[in-house]
């Protein structure tokens, strides 16, 4: 069986890795521009969410748990897992009274989410005992099980471990009987993991796709303190997070820009404003050296829900999109489940809870 995966972000690369264990001939296509995963540095910490969508929370909760399996599988195959590290999180609110409610939410969820680990309030002084350069004031919540992920390292390690054919090119698909032609090659099955570009692939085939782009920008800094590898991630109230990595690298972002379409330009004024705001939590950012800015395009649906599974009206085509800003949390479990669906094995989630036909419709059926 020959399988094409279009899109080498978190979903496509995870899918390729697990399909490669089935001895399937796999080719991965990716045009390499604007991918959300490669531009991302993120926090795995879904337990404080107030979203009422139970299906989404189940995916996010199990997605956070899934990293332990992914890390173990990659290490057993001889590949690094340095893209992921459990560091804990500092969660802050401008109105500290809001922390009580969030603490109660996470505490109630800890019974089924043991990954949360130690959960407690810290004073600013206690926080500085864990993170010497922390400059926030007032109380915060600490959750031990939160982790940081480097999206670029994640996809690079997965694709290296998958050992699949990789083609850096923008492609489309053409149906040929029961098979598909992509870039002059014939494939039995196709996985579309193109994120915000899903409509550009499916619309020429007669589909309307409820997926829109959202621009995200962040900036990496190098601070004087090089002992940052074990620092907790910081989630202040507002648009940006502060994510320390090893050797003094700190990421600040990312933006959520809904009216910028597929624009990949860097807005330094916006990133400068994040820097100024972030200094109240990590003072060393004031004198930090700018390393680089990263820009990616996320995919959102109209109701902010992800979807994945088989496209019933197009034989042997599987799709996933709509992950939004929680893509680093949910993307690996979606990629795994797509691999299981295609290979006829058991999935972790129930794909019917994330129906494709709610967001991808044949034009003549509208």
What pLDDT digit, counting tens, does each position of 58-117 carry? 999 999 999 999 999 999 999 999 999 999 999 999 999 999 999 999 999 999 999 999
279-307 burial, b for 16+ CB within 10 Å, e for fewer? bebbebbeebeeeebbbbbbbbbeeebbb
Distance CA 70, CA 14 (A): 9
d(CA 329, CA 70): 12
**Is the pLDDT at 352 greater than 60, yes or no?**
yes
**CA 320 remoteness from chain centre:** 13
Contacts of 152 (CB under 8 A, 6+ apart): 37, 38, 39, 40
What pLDDT score was predicted for residue 54? 96
Where residue 38 falls among pLDDT bands split at 50, 70, 90? confident
pLDDT band at 36 (very low <50, low <70, confident <90, very high): confident
What percent of the chain stands above pLDDT 90? Answer: 94
Question: Domain spans of the chain?
Answer: 2-37+153-212+303-359
The whole-number pLDDT of residue 39 equals 85
pLDDT per position as a tens digit, 240-266: 999 999 999 999 999 999 999 999 999
pLDDT bracket for residue 32 (50, 70, 90)? confident
Backbone angles phi and psi of 291, in degrees to 5: -90, -55
**Model confidence, pTM:** 0.97
Q: Is the pLDDT of residue 49 over 80?
A: yes
235 neighbors 223 (Cβ within 8 angstroms): no
Residue 349, pLDDT > 90, answer yes
* The pLDDT value given to residue 184: 97
Tens-place pLDDT, residues 138-185: 999 999 999 999 999 999 999 999 999 999 999 999 999 999 999 999
- Give the other-Cβ count within 10 Å of 179's Cβ: 15
| The predicted structure's pLDDT at residue 365 | 56
**Both structure tokens of 224:** 């004087």
327-343 vs 10-20: helix crossing angle, rounded to 10: 40
Could you tell me the sign of the dihedral formed by the alpha carbons of 357, 359, 361, 365, in that order? positive
**CA–CA gap between residue 232 and residue 235 (Å, rounded):** 10
Query: Cβ distance 285 to 297 under 8 Å?
Result: no
- 343-359 mean pLDDT: 98
Label residue 340 by pLDDT band (50, 70, 90). Answer: very high
Cα-based distances in Å from 355 to 4, 153, 183, 332, 358: 22, 30, 29, 18, 6
The CA–CA distances, whole Å, from 49 to 58, 61, 111 equal 11, 10, 16
Residue 276 pLDDT level (bands cut at 50, 70, 90): very high
The answer to whether 208 touches 23, Cβ cutoff 8 Å, is: no
Query: Residue 260 CA to chain centroid, in angstroms?
Result: 20
Confidence band for 23, pLDDT divided at 50, 70 and 90: confident
H-helix or E-strand spanning residue 340: helix 327-343
Helix (H) or strand (E) holding 337: helix 327-343
Average pLDDT over the chain, rounded to an integer? 96
Longest dimension (CA), the chain: 67
Q: Are 11 and 193 in contact (CB under 8 A)?
A: yes
CATH T-level fold of 2-37+153-212+303-359: FAD/NAD(P)-binding domain (3.50.50)
Percent of the chain scoring above 70 in pLDDT = 99
- pLDDT on residue 190: 99
Residue with tokens 């579309």: 192
């Amino acid at each position: 069986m020959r399988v094409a995966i279009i899109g080498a972000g978190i979903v496509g690369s995870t899918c390729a890795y697990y399909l490669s264990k089935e001895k399937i001939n796999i080719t991965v296509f990716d045009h390499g521009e604007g991918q959300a995963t490669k531009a991302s540095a993120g926090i795995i910490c879904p337990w404080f969410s107030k979203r009422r969508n139970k299906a989404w929370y189940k995916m996010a909760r199990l997605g956070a748990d899934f990293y332990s399996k992914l890390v173990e599988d990659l290490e057993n195959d001889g590949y690094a897992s340095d893209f992921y590290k459990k560091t804990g999180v500092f969660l802050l609110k401008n109105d500290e009274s809001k922390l009580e409610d969030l603490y109660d939410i996470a505490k109630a969820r800890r019974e089924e989410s043991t990954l949360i680990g130690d959960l407690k309030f810290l004073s600013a002084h206690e926080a500085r005992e864990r993170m010497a350069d922390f400059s926030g004031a007032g109380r915060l919540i600490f959750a031990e099980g939160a982790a940081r992920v480097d999206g670029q390292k994640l996809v690079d390690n997965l694709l290296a471990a998958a050992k699949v054919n990789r083609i850096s090119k923008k492609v489309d698909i053409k149906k040929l009987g029961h098979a598909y032609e992509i870039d002059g090659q014939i494939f039995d099955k196709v996985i579309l993991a193109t994120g915000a570009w899903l409509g550009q692939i499916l619309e020429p085939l007669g589909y309307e796709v409820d997926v829109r782009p959202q621009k995200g920008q962040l900036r990496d800094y190098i601070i004087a303190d090089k002992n940052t590898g074990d620092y907790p991630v910081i989630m202040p109230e507002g648009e940006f997070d502060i994510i320390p990595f090893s050797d003094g690298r700190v990421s600040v972002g990312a933006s959520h820009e809904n009216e910028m379409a597929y624009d990949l330009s860097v807005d330094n004024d916006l990133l400068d404003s994040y820097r100024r705001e972030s200094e109240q939590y990590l003072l060393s950012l004031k004198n930090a050296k700018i390393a680089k800015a990263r820009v990616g395009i996320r995919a959102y649906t109209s109701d902010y829900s992800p979807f994945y599974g088989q496209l019933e009206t197009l034989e042997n085509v599987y799709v996933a999109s709509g992950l939004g800003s929680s893509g680093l949390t949910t993307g690996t479990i979606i990629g795994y489940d797509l691999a299981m669906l295609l290979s006829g094995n058991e999935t972790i989630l129930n794909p019917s809870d994330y129906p494709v036909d709610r967001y991808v419709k044949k034009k003549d059926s509208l």
